[in-house]
Amino acid sequence: MTKKSAMKATRVASRRRDANKSTRSAVKTNITRAEKLIMDGDLAAAEDAVKTAVVSLDKAAEKMILHANNAARRKARLMKKLNQAKAQPAAEAPAEKPAA
């Protein structure tokens, strides 16, 4: 014999899982898009993509779809990649001195 409350909890969990699935997918897509732009070297577009990814992570954390620390960790890793990509061309410029 199954209790009514257990059956309802199963239905609620199923609805929440379905609703959260699209948000999780959007977060992953935004992060992947931003990382790809960073790797391609298109920093202007990458900055916009990173901002979009950060907003989607914040919303997912706010709605408790992702744990707050999980969202913070993903944002930190994404920003680190972006900042390293920005610093890399500046660091390479002095190394390439023109031949005199």
**What does the alpha-carbon distance between residue 93 and residue 87 come to, in Å, rounded to a whole number?**
10
pLDDT of 89: 66
pLDDT of 2: 77
Domain annotation for the chain: domains and CATH numbers: 20-84 (1.20.58.110)
Q: What is the pTM of this model?
A: 0.79
**What does the alpha-carbon distance between residue 44 and residue 52 come to, in Å, rounded to a whole number?**
13
Q: What is the pLDDT along the chain (100 residues), one digit of tens a residue?
A: 679 999 999 999 999 999 999 999 999 999 999 999 999 989 999 999 999 999 999 999 999 999 999 999 999 999 999 999 999 866 665 555 567 6
